[in-house]
Structure 1
Amino acid sequence: MKNLKKEFPVTANYTHLNTAGTGLLSETLLDFRQNHDLDYLVMGSLMKDNQDKFTTKVREEVGKFFNCKAQNVALVTSFSTGFNVFLEALPAKSKVLLLQEDYPSINWPVEARDFDISYAKIDVNLEDNILKAVEKEKPEVLCISLVQYISGVQINLEFLKSLKAEYPDLLICADGTQYCGVAPFDFENSGIDVLGASTYKWLNAGYGNGFFLFKDAVKDRLKPKAVGFASIRGKYKEAGDTLIGKFEPGHLDTLNSGSLQAAIQLVNKIGYSAITTQIELLKEKALNAFAERNLLDDVVINRKQHSSIFNIKGDQQLFEKLKQNDIICSQRGDGIRVSFHYFNTEDDLEKLLKLI
């Protein structure tokens, strides 16, 4: 996979272990953006005359990529933007189950509203904790991250599927920002009702773009209040009063939405087989190496499934040492967060281990 570093020039000068913080700009994405703005420069509004057709193609490509009907794909500027529209679409006083210390962009918007909120603990028994909380609290909505941003703990997707089968009326909304782009995801055959994501991380699509996917059954339960002229513009929205139209009240930027399309096309070109093989290789080697050095929390070590995000034990001095040696990572929680994507190599891991 070393040849893929050429696609991401940052990796020529730095060891980038920070996709969990920010993804990279690829040569493919740069080419699209330069061509897009050149067309805008020389064509002006003539280029924008095709905006609706362009965003329709983006919507359809996102739907195909995640196996979701195009008419159920909303294009948004970020997860937070779409999630707040989603929350406003829920009935007042809804009973919502969250995870303790989940990503602030999930918990804070829920806690800012007048919902009846309960929590499940994030530990080695995460799935059991959620199940017990559902049995006890009987929530109407479950809002969770598929991957925890601090620890890298990953929810078992088969558990969500079985949970939905056992509690079909439970509305499951998931944030896929730290997951989408790592492995193939079949939305229609998942247990998730609503999946949202910002795509500047693992899809390397740049800032200002994201999506929300919906199952058909959700349309009768959500009553979004947002609306604007763009709510009826383009294929799949022309009939008016559509769910995705309420999530897209304003103009969509073709530069940003097109960046998502270009990023998806790059993933398709590389192939998920190669991507997941490389990530799984690095994840296994990193997990074993970190565990041997006593750098991981017991929660991570004792779970059967984990993401390629790790929070290793380390202080400010180690963090500064890594930065001085051109390793890009983040301080999160009580440690140092490192994350491995498909453009990373075993050499990257070895460099990190030597410095530690």
Structure 2
Amino acid sequence: MNMKNFKKQFPLLEQYTYLNTAASGLLSDDVLEFRQDHDLDFLVGGSLFREKRDELFLKTRKAVGALFGCAANRVALTPNFSYGFNLLMEGMEASKKVLLLRNDYPSVNWAVESRGFKICYAEIDGNLEENIAEAVEKHKPDIFAFSLVQYINGIKIDPDFLLKLKEQYPELLLFADGTQYCGTEKFNFEASALDVLGASAYKWLNAGYGNAFFLFKEHMQEKIAPKGLELKDLQGKNKPHKGSFIGKFEPGHLDTLNFGSLKTAIDLINNTGMDEIELRIKDLAAVAKKELSELNLLEPAVVNRKLHSSIFNIKGDEKLFQKLRSNKILCSMRGDGIRVSFNYFNSVADLEKLLKNIN
């Protein structure tokens, strides 16, 4: 699929230079078409339409599992990351000690801090991995909960480091938020160090709002017991089996519109090619990092790291932010600067337009 076709799927790109996937992905033509058909089917089908939903959820779980390397019966569909993560932490014994990253995404830290766990912290800076290793050695936590990519400045944790950490501390449970990561590169959950991965799909997967997923390693079934969630009678046929582990994360009805949107968004990713998406994002991120570094717009912690995402926080104030916006460049004020993020539908021309408007 060439650049023109990427852009064609996302009509907003004709109006704006969109450097804001880290805040919200875009609605594609494919997802819009699915949503219109879905509501039409419901309109004319009523309960006949409802009969097909179990099949839809099964297809969605399979699509998520295939894309991220996880068995479909260990994929839970949740309305958003926070919902699933709060359920997960509710199922953990309060006596556990949890390692967090200071100033990580509030949805990660609040879910832990508000529940009375013993907590220790590691700092997010250029030495992120060393900070984590030291904190694990010193505090001996039971769980490490963290974002794979930091939302403020795009600092990305090294997956090889996580594998080594897991090798050294096999009992340490790794719970990751992949909301700023999933959809940016190939990822195999089963081969990773993670025990649980959750992600909202409205950012890099461009799946719209109200859909997220959680992936679990097999052994997590014995480790989680969300109290009062044995809703066996509410768990219909769309669960892998009645009263199942995954069912605990899916009480009640799921939304056919939103999870169908997720399935359609994954189909678009597969048609585009995850290899192609990863390559485009990595190439563009490397050029952006080089150009932004040369203009002294990035913090040293980011400049000095080998590994980085395609999210950057550049020096800038409200005035520059408004100037960019008036020139139809969409980004976000985050932390002490302006956050820009590059997805596969972006181009070097978008970066050049940004640089031209900064100077």
Calculate the TM-score normalised by the size of structure 1. Answer: 0.98
Report Cα offsets for 1:30-84 as digits up to 9, x if no partner: 1111111110011111100121122111111211111111111100000000000
Post-superposition offset of 1:236 = 4.6
Report Cα offsets for 1:1-47 as digits up to 9, x if no partner: 23311110000000000000000000010111111111001111110
- Aligned partner of 1:157 among 156, 159, 174: 159
- Aligned partner of 1:284 among 283, 286, 289: 286
How many angstroms apart in 2 are the aligned matches of 1:105 and 1:72? 22
Amino acid at match of 1:274: E
For 1:113, what is the secondary structure of its paired residue? coil
- Aligned partner of 1:174 among 167, 172, 176: 176
Post-superposition offset of 1:229 = 5.8
How many angstroms apart in 2 are the aligned matches of 1:139 and 1:24? 38
1:190 maps to what in 2?
Answer: 192
How many angstroms apart in 2 are the aligned matches of 1:163 and 1:230? 40
1:253 maps to what in 2?
Answer: 255
Post-superposition offset of 1:161 = 1.2
- Aligned partner of 1:93 among 82, 95, 100: 95
How many angstroms apart in 1 are the aligned matches of 2:206 and 2:257? 14
How many angstroms apart in 1 are the aligned matches of 2:331 and 2:133? 34
Amino acid at match of 1:211: F
How many angstroms apart in 2 are the aligned matches of 1:246 and 1:255? 21
> Residue 292 and residue 231 in structure 1: after superposition, are their counterparts in 2 closer, same or farther (change >3 A)?
farther
Post-superposition offset of 1:235 = 4.9
2:213 maps to what in 1?
Answer: 211
- Aligned partner of 1:326 among 309, 325, 328: 328
State the number of aligned residues.
355
Query: Which aligned pairs between 1:304-319 and structure 2 lie closer than 5 A?
Result: 304-319=306-321
Post-superposition offset of 1:211 = 0.2
Post-superposition offset of 1:137 = 0.4
The unaligned stretches of length 5 or more in structure 2 are none
How many angstroms apart in 2 are the aligned matches of 1:336 and 1:236? 43
1:244 maps to what in 2?
Answer: 246
Post-superposition offset of 1:228 = 3.5
Query: Which aligned pairs between 1:36-185 and structure 2 lie closer than 5 A?
Result: 36-185=38-187
Alpha-carbon contact 1:230-1:245 (below 8 Å) kept = no
Alpha-carbon contact 1:313-1:336 (below 8 Å) kept = yes
Alpha-carbon contact 1:230-1:251 (below 8 Å) kept = no
The unaligned stretches of length 5 or more in structure 1 are none
Alpha-carbon contact 2:232-2:242 (below 8 Å) kept = no
How many angstroms apart in 2 are the aligned matches of 1:331 and 1:212? 29
Q: What percent of counterpart residues are identical?
A: 57
Amino acid at match of 1:234: K
Amino acid at match of 1:239: K
Indicate yes or no: 2:234 matched with 1:202.
no
* Range 276-285 or range 297-306, more displaced: 276-285
For 1:196, what is the secondary structure of its paired residue? strand
2:348 maps to what in 1?
Answer: 346
Amino acid at match of 2:324: L
Amino acid at match of 1:238: H
Alpha-carbon contact 2:57-2:238 (below 8 Å) kept = no
For 1:310, what is the secondary structure of its paired residue? strand
Post-superposition offset of 1:230 = 7.0
* RMSD (Å) for aligned C-alpha atoms: 1.1
Calculate the TM-score normalised by the size of structure 2. Answer: 0.97
Amino acid at match of 1:33: R
Report Cα offsets for 1:143-183 as digits up to 9, x if no partner: 00000000100000111111111111101000000000001
How many angstroms apart in 2 are the aligned matches of 1:216 and 1:235? 20
Indicate yes or no: 2:245 matched with 1:233.
no
How many angstroms apart in 2 are the aligned matches of 1:54 and 1:239? 18
How many angstroms apart in 2 are the aligned matches of 1:219 and 1:163? 22
* Range 334-343 or range 228-237, more displaced: 228-237
Q: Which runs of 4+ in 1 moved over 4 A?
A: none
Post-superposition offset of 1:238 = 2.6
Alpha-carbon contact 2:235-2:252 (below 8 Å) kept = no
Alpha-carbon contact 1:56-1:234 (below 8 Å) kept = no
For 2:219, what is the secondary structure of its paired residue? helix
How many angstroms apart in 1 are the aligned matches of 2:233 and 2:27? 29
Amino acid at match of 1:70: A
Alpha-carbon contact 1:197-1:211 (below 8 Å) kept = yes
How many angstroms apart in 2 are the aligned matches of 1:161 and 1:2? 39
